[in-house]
Structures are given as C-alpha cells and as structure tokens.
Amino acid sequence: MTLTIANSLEVPKPSCWPISMTRFGSVPSGSFKGEPIYRVVFAPTVRKLVFGQFSDGYIGARSRPSYPQIGQKWILEKWTSGFEDTKLSPAEYERWGPRDPQSGMLINGPYPHDGVYNHCWTFDKIEEISGVETIIGLIHNGAKRSLAQIKAGNAEIDAREEKKAAEQRYLRCRETEPLYGVRAASFAGTPKAVNHKTVKTPIAANDLGLPTRRGSVVSMRGPKVNLNGSI
C-alpha cells in the first residue's frame, strides 16, 4: 500500500480571538512550545488531518474540519498531552488506537507526542467571551475531582432529570382524564364496572334541592335513610 498525503502535513492555524491567553499558562514542550494552553478560536477554521481510505478511493491523509457540528461559533480549546488525549502509551496507541476499517490506518495519524488542542467550551454569543476567565476557573476546579466524584455528580443530575420527567409525564396523564367522575368506556364501548379514576360520594337528595318524602332523605347510592337512622 502506498501512503500519499494530500498537500502537506501542515495544518493551518485557526483564527484566534485577539486576546492574550498566555496568562493561563503555556505549552511546556514540543511543536506547540510557548503557545497558550487555552485559546479562543473560530470553530470553522479549526482543522485536523484524517487518515484512511476516502469515498473516492483515495488512501492517505486529508485536512478536515475538526468541529463541523458546532457551526459558526467561537469556542475555547485546551492543550492536552498525548497521554491525556488518548489515555494510551505510544505502544498501546499503535496496537489499540482507532483505525480505518478499509485501509487499516490509524484514523488520527501517529501518536500525538506534541499534544493536541481539544474543544472544552462553546460561546453561544460573542459577548460571552469576556467571561473566559470564569470558565477556565470552572475547568480547573473540575479537574480536581476524582472519577468517582464525577460519576456520582452525573448520577445525581440524571436522577433529578428523571424525577422531573416523571412528574411531567404524570401531569400529562392527569390532563387526559375526564372530569366530574365520568367513567371511561371499555373496548366494547360500554362504561367500565369499576371506575379507577373517581369514586362516587353519596349525596343527599335534599342537599341537591330535590323533592323528598317527609322525614327521609335519598342518597345517590343505597336505600332510603330515615332521619332517625333506621332503614
């Protein structure tokens, strides 16, 4: 198999927001040495090399947008080392790294010894970029949490969301129920013998202003009841 590279291995730098980010730290070594650890970039201008066999039969590497799903927005990226990015050593990456099934090439190319920049925040509005310092502070605090703490926090969030969704489902069901004790029909089109939605409450005829015999009241269900308590 002959490996060919489209144009060059050089990937153009993305468009960066005109603000100094070196106060948050600089990359210690490698080809990114001296570059800021955090950078605010325009998502459509961020590109990466993708390796493999393409739909037109070409085998090699091509430059592709890194975040096509984000659209025309500014984002915050953070530099991470090769191990932080892959969670693998170079030897493990060579063996277990993601590969293109047609060509067998490592999709992301060789092991990232120099580290890579990864997306960590999307600014929905340009005005939000002024709060980048607060966002980076939140990222630093999150990095101090253990994996168990992160999982517990995510489980708590999921539980709250499920409780909220269950309450909404219950309210939607309640809205479909008939009012005033009307019993739902069965599949045969006749009223059900037992109404599970409402319970009949006996009401005296004289409470409703209906005519009654002297000395007695008539309830909605059951025999006539005399005022002295006898049936």
Average pLDDT value over all residues in the chain:
81
Q: What is the pLDDT of residue 14?
A: 94
Q: Are residues 203 and 128 in the same domain?
A: no
- Residue 171, pLDDT > 60, answer yes
Query: Is residue 85 pLDDT above 50, yes or no?
Result: yes
Within this chain, do residues 23 and 97 fall inside the same structural domain, yes or no? yes
Coarse DSSP helix, strand, coil percentages of the chain, rounded to the nearest 5 percent: 30, 20, 50
- Are residues 206 and 111 located together in one domain of the fold? no
pLDDT-derived band at 58 (thresholds 50, 70, 90) equals very high
Task: Tell whether 174 is covered by a domain.
Answer: no
Give yes or no: residues 125 and 214 share one domain: no
Model confidence pLDDT, tens digit, residues 64-76: 999 999 999 999 9
Q: Residue 231 pLDDT > 60, yes or no? A: no
pTM of the shown model: 0.62
pLDDT of residue 182: 52
Euclidean distance between CA atoms 92 and 96, whole angstroms: 6
Residues 86 and 200 in one domain: no
CB-based contacts of 154-163 (< 8 A; 24+ apart in sequence): none
Domain that holds residue 98: 4-147
Give the sheet arrangement for strand 38-42, strand by strand.
38-42, 74-80, 116-123
- pLDDT digit string, tens, across residues 204-225: 666 666 666 665 555 545 555 4
Answer yes or no: is pLDDT of 35 > 80: yes
Domains: count for the chain: 2
